[in-house]
């Protein structure tokens, strides 16, 4: 019998991370669900199943990431995979953006991705087995987070561009130890992250998608689920665009 897989999911209280945690629980995985507030994770998942371990952690903090990975080990004995969705949005225009905000966005989105991957990989290494998925964004292609082209969100766009390099670097370093690292680059997705987008902006974004609609959270989460599955066992170092075809439009 194949052992039940354990997956550490970040950003599990909302949007895509929440969809991931639900999908994995429904499929019988053990889920270590990380977000800033474990109570919010519990409330949003509405379950007290044995297979769920909610954890409060700020992914920009090294000790929090280490503690989350250690809790996964003490609870389930292993980490087979990581789906790292936690991130902070920033739409500040380049001329209004402060160094403080820029650094905070990089700390959460980029350094946080590295820290959670590092903490999990340390536990994966002795087993020579694991899969890690990090989240980029098609805002890297557009150069904007949804404002007029190129004007919005330099901090967020830069933080998500860095993920593509981080994925390749970690894939090269960890591949020889049987650990795959990949990325998902979602297009605009219906989650609380885009709640502040204006109706006009939303319509513009939708108009760019050949499929004629924005993504649903579970349509992005399922690609993460595929990347950590054995069906993706020869995919390594890739960041897969999931945007309904908007990027070539
Ligand atoms: N929604 C979109 O349109 C879109 C598009 C492209 C990429 N993405 C990316 O997809 C991922 C998921 O986004 P979403 O739309 O589900 O966002 P969301 O805002 O709905 O959820 C993000 C979650 O991350 C958590 N979080 C924020 N900072 C954290 C921290 N320091 N430590 C721990 N948790 C923290 C939040 O509490 C929240 O629960 C993100 O990486 C985002 O950048 C989203």
Task: Check: CB of residue 204 under 8 Å from CB of residue 172.
Answer: no
Q: pTM above the 0.95 mark?
A: yes
Which is the closest atom of ligand 1 to the Cα of 135?
Answer: 41
Task: Check: CB of residue 124 under 8 Å from CB of residue 179.
Answer: yes
Secondary structure (H, E, C), 17-35: HHHHHHHHHHCCCEEEEEE
Q: For ligand 1, is residue 184 a contact (CB within 6 Å)?
A: no
pLDDT of residue 248: 78
The active-site residue, picked from 93, 156, 197, 234, is 156
pLDDT of residue 163: 98
Task: Check: CB of residue 157 under 8 Å from CB of residue 139.
Answer: yes
Element (H, E) at 130: strand 130-135
Of residues 4, 39, 33, the one with CA closest to residue 20: 33
Which is the closest atom of ligand 1 to the Cα of 59?
Answer: 32
Q: For ligand 1, is residue 16 a contact (CB within 6 Å)?
A: yes
Task: Check: CB of residue 55 under 8 Å from CB of residue 120.
Answer: no
Of residues 28, 24, 70, the one with CA closest to residue 227: 24
pLDDT of residue 226: 98
Which is the closest atom of ligand 1 to the Cα of 19?
Answer: 16
Question: Could you tell me the residue ranges of all domains in the chain?
Answer: 6-242
Superfamily of domain 6-242: NAD(P)-binding Rossmann-like Domain (3.40.50.720)
Going by CA atoms, what residue is nearest to atom 1 of ligand 1? 189
Mean pLDDT per 10-residue interval, the chain, length 249 residues = 86 98 96 97 88 97 98 98 97 93 98 98 98 97 74 91 98 98 97 89 90 97 98 98 89
pLDDT of residue 177: 98
Q: For ligand 1, is residue 191 a contact (CB within 6 Å)?
A: yes
Residues 51, 72: Cα–Cα separation, whole Å: 11
Task: Check: CB of residue 217 under 8 Å from CB of residue 189.
Answer: yes
* 156 assigned to active site: yes
Q: How many CA atoms lie within 13 A of 178 on its CB side?
A: 11
Q: For ligand 1, is residue 58 a contact (CB within 6 Å)?
A: yes
Residues 55, 12: Cα–Cα separation, whole Å: 10
Interval between CA 10 and ligand 1 midpoint (Å): 9
- Angle (CA) 13-19-20 rounded to 5° is 95
Which is the closest atom of ligand 1 to the Cα of 214?
Answer: 3
Going by CA atoms, what residue is nearest to atom 23 of ligand 1? 11
Q: For ligand 1, is residue 113 a contact (CB within 6 Å)?
A: no
3-class state of residue 78 by DSSP: coil
Residues 145, 34: Cα–Cα separation, whole Å: 25
């Amino acid at each position: 019998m194949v052992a039940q897989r354990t997956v550490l999911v970040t950003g599990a209280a909302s949007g895509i991370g929440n969809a991931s945690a639900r999908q994995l629980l429904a499929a019988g995985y053990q889920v270590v669900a990380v977000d800033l507030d474990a109570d919010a994770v519990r409330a949003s998942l509405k379950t007290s199943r044995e297979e769920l371990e909610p954890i409060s952690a700020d992914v920009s903090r090294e000790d929090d990431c280490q503690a989350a990975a250690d809790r996964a080990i003490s609870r389930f004995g292993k980490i087979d995979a990581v789906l790292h969705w936690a991130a902070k949005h920033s739409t500040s225009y380049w001329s209004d953006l402060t160094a403080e905000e820029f650094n905070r966005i990089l700390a959460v989105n980029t350094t946080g991705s590295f820290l959670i991957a590092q903490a999990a990989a340390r536990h994966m290494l002795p087993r020579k087995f694991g899969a890690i998925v990090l989240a980029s964004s098609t805002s890297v292609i557009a150069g904007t987070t949804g404002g007029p082209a190129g004007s919005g969100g330099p901090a967020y766009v830069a933080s998500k561009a860095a993920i593509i390099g981080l994925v390749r670097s970690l894939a090269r370093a960890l591949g020889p130890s049987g650990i795959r690292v990949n990325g998902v680059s979602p297009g605009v997705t219906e989650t609380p992250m885009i709640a502040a987008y204006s109706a006009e902006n939303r319509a513009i974004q939708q108009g760019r998608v050949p499929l004629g609609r924005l993504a649903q959270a579970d349509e992005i989460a399922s690609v993460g689920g595929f990347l950590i599955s054995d069906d993706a066992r020869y995919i390594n170092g890739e960041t897969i665009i999931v945007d309904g075809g908007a990027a070539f439009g």
